[in-house]
Homo-oligomer: A and B are copies of this chain.
């Protein structure tokens, strides 16, 4: 079983509006409401691809109840901690060709709630083959929250894939996560190295490794992926450009890495699979879903080669 951690889940509300004008009132044509947050998206993709997964995180208020109902409706297993605060919603307004996103701040956790969550996590991580940790930290938890979770997982010999940014990432690196999967912008900011060339991205990956990440995978959007692993350094190049909605592509990539960990797949194969799932996510309009036809065809999506510095 894979355990997907989502400390800051959200109900993702999307509006279809003929044209968004600031300062005016507009009628929404179509509304969708759906459980979201990066960890929920990872779990959603894994579940859709037939991998056993449980999503965990704190949940509260009436939006939290609606989120749980949606997980149940979609058949995604969960083990969530009820908190006093209210789960946030995000509102994405699709108008013409643009997406305008409003991110609510989310609830504050009390010290007692965070302590209760770490106990819950320890129980779940013991039963898990692998843990994914994705997204931002909610208010009230310590900056080293992810380091704490990684420490708990490692004491039970459970592998952790981490996808976060900023101070949460910097602090988490101290706990030596097994795989850090981030995008090139996050890598540039944390490593303080320019990532506009493949050499730069590898230099950033090396720096993140020095800071504590055992293996590092850096996604570059349509330009592909770069990986610094125990088996060597790899460059993945996108062969087929998929147009669509990139929201959730990074989470589908993480899901692809998670799904291939236990199978002792070589890194070349893992990166191909994860890239194909990310392409499948771009091909759908909804975060947490992937287009099965695109995802099923890693060969035509990308080629992955060992990298030799020139």
* Chain B contacts for A23, CB-based, 8 A: 98-100
Asked if A27 contacts B62 (CB within 8 A), the reply is no
Asked if B98 contacts A91 (CB within 8 A), the reply is no
Nearest CB in chain B to that of A24: its residue:
B100
| Residue A28 lies at the interface, judged by CB distance under 8 Å to chain B | yes
- Residue of B29, B98, B102 near A93 (CB, 8 A) is B102
| Residue A140 lies at the interface, judged by CB distance under 8 Å to chain B | no
Nearest CB in chain B to that of A17: its residue:
B102
* Chain B contacts for A105, CB-based, 8 A: 27-29, 31
Asked if A102 contacts B28 (CB within 8 A), the reply is yes
Tallying the copies of this chain within the complex gives 2
Asked if A101 contacts B26 (CB within 8 A), the reply is yes
Asked if A103 contacts B27 (CB within 8 A), the reply is yes
Task: Supply 5 A–B pairs (Cβ within 8 Å), ascending by A.
Answer: A22-B22, A27-B105, A28-B102, A62-B63, A91-B91
How far is it, in angstroms, between the C-alpha of A66 and the C-alpha of B102 when the chains are bound?
21
Asked if A28 contacts B98 (CB within 8 A), the reply is no
What 6 additional pairs, Cβ within 8 angstroms, besides A25-B101, A91-B102? A15-B102, A20-B100, A26-B102, A27-B105, A28-B103, A28-B104
* Chain B contacts for A99, CB-based, 8 A: 23
Chain A interface category by residue count: 20 to 34
| Residue A268 lies at the interface, judged by CB distance under 8 Å to chain B | no
Asked if B22 contacts A20 (CB within 8 A), the reply is yes
Distance between A95 CB and nearest chain B CB, rounded to angstroms: 7
How far is it, in angstroms, between the C-alpha of A27 and the C-alpha of B103 when the chains are bound?
5
Asked if A101 contacts B24 (CB within 8 A), the reply is yes
Please provide the 4 A-B residue pairs with the shortest distance between their CB atoms, ordered closest to farther: A23-B98, A25-B101, A62-B66, A28-B104
| Residue A21 lies at the interface, judged by CB distance under 8 Å to chain B | yes
How far is it, in angstroms, between the C-alpha of A95 and the C-alpha of B104 when the chains are bound?
14
How far is it, in angstroms, between the C-alpha of A15 and the C-alpha of B88 when the chains are bound?
12
- With contacts A62-B65, A62-B66, A65-B62 taken as known, whether A103 is within 8 angstroms of B25 at the C-beta atoms is yes
Asked if A100 contacts B22 (CB within 8 A), the reply is yes
How far is it, in angstroms, between the C-alpha of A62 and the C-alpha of B24 when the chains are bound?
27
Distance between A220 CB and nearest chain B CB, rounded to angstroms: 20
* Chain B contacts for A21, CB-based, 8 A: 100
Distance between A98 CB and nearest chain B CB, rounded to angstroms: 4
How far is it, in angstroms, between the C-alpha of A140 and the C-alpha of B147 when the chains are bound?
53
B-facing residues in A64-80 (Cβ within 8 Å) = 65-66, 69
Distance between A208 CB and nearest chain B CB, rounded to angstroms: 24
- With contacts A28-B105, A62-B66, A105-B28 taken as known, whether A22 is within 8 angstroms of B91 at the C-beta atoms is no
